[in-house]
Structure 1
Amino acid sequence: MGGNSPCASCKLLRRRCTKDCIFAPYFQPDDPQKFAIVHKVFGASNVSKMLHELPVHQRADAVSSLVYEANARMRDPVYGCVGAISYLQDRVSELQMQLAVAQAEILCIQMQQEPTGLPMTAMQMEPGDDKSSLLLSRTSSSSFNNNSLCPQYLSFASSSSEVQDPLKRESLWT
């Protein structure tokens, strides 16, 4: 930068900002916290080395990634971004299980509403019916027992969603 105001890194490190400062294009003086977090987690020397090793067109993305990882490391010093990803994957799994339970309940209700207790065939389906009905239509009616199927699926789904991994750690994102 070299002009009036030093970049955020030079300001924090209390050094003179030169026109060829590697940090100046990525750490603007109006956002000093951005460099402070990256410096605290990775160190200015390491960040400088990383940026020098990269082609100029990739540096902005690298700085963005470093800032993101540094913020994640401040929240979770051990796992960083991986902790956030792991938490989100666990959450997706929980939501998929809840969706499966809800779909099973819908199927049971639909089966109970049928006069014969047998699933609808594709010919009986209305154009507005959802995929749950299509799943019912593909099920063999001879092997389908309405009274015993629904409770089994629902009890399995509800009991498996209650099981928790004893090694699962608490996350700061909950």
Structure 2
Amino acid sequence: MIYGRCAACKSQRRRCPSDCIFSPYFPANDPQRFAYVHKIYGGSNVGKMLQQLPEYLREQAVNTLYLEARCRIQDPVYGCVGIVSKLYQQIHDTEAELAKIQTQIAYHKLQNQQIEVESNFNALSTVDAETNLNFLPTQSNSMEQFQWPNQVPNLFN
């Protein structure tokens, strides 16, 4: 048995019976909880809803009613739907930002690959140039010192 009255019975100025349907869910130390639910749904309607539910679902139902009532009092036009809409907007904004960042990452990876290819090409060009320098004629075997015969024999006569 609960000593004293629950928040619902205090609010309705009645005696709290030992089998009070409200007492497990609306304790005396949190009167605002019942006040919100009562203001939006009405005390007798909440009592009827709780009686129709199995006992294991009642706590969850009361918590949901309280959340929805609190949201409706804070935002009378949209209530919980306003919160859900704001959360969906945040998800959409975050997904758009994520896509933008992924695009930037892909762009920077592509730039890094291009820089690597260019540096590899430059390194290969330097190696090729050094290799080709070895095949260039030096002073000892330059073209100027090469003696061509004065006359080339006619092989078709």
Task: For 1:114 and 1:4, locate their aligned partners in 2 and report how far apart those are by CA, in whole Å.
Answer: 75
RMSD: 1.7
- Aligned residue pair count: 117
TM value normalised by structure 2: 0.69
Match of 2:69 in 1: 70
SS in 1 for 2:114: coil
Task: For 2:54 and 2:79, locate their aligned partners in 1 and report how far apart those are by CA, in whole Å.
Answer: 26
Shift of 1:4: 3.3
Alignment of 1:158-169 (within 5 A): none
Q: Is the CA contact (8 Å cut-off) linking 1:9 and 1:24 kept in structure 2?
A: yes
| Segments of 4+ moved more than 3 angstroms | none
Match of 1:85 in 2: 84
Shift of 1:115: 2.7
Task: For 1:115 and 1:79, locate their aligned partners in 2 and report how far apart those are by CA, in whole Å.
Answer: 52
Shift of 1:5: 1.0
Shift of 1:117: 8.5
After superposition, the C-alpha distances for 1:74-98 in whole angstroms (9 at most, x for unaligned) are: 1211222122111101110000000
Q: Is the CA contact (8 Å cut-off) linking 1:111 and 1:117 kept in structure 2?
A: no
Q: Which amino acid aligns with 2:107?
A: C
Task: For 1:110 and 1:61, locate their aligned partners in 2 and report how far apart those are by CA, in whole Å.
Answer: 50
Match of 1:15 in 2: 14
Q: Which amino acid aligns with 1:81?
A: C
Match of 1:25 in 2: 24
Matched, 1:60 2:54: no
TM value normalised by structure 1: 0.63
Structure 1's unaligned 5+ residue stretches are 119-174
Task: For 1:90 and 1:115, locate their aligned partners in 2 and report how far apart those are by CA, in whole Å.
Answer: 38
Task: For 2:67 and 2:90, locate their aligned partners in 1 and report how far apart those are by CA, in whole Å.
Answer: 21
SS in 2 for 1:79: coil
Percent of aligned pairs with the same amino acid: 47
After superposition, the C-alpha distances for 1:153-173 in whole angstroms (9 at most, x for unaligned) are: xxxxxxxxxxxxxxxxxxxxx
Decide which structure has the larger Cα Rg and report it. Answer: 2
Match of 1:41 in 2: 40
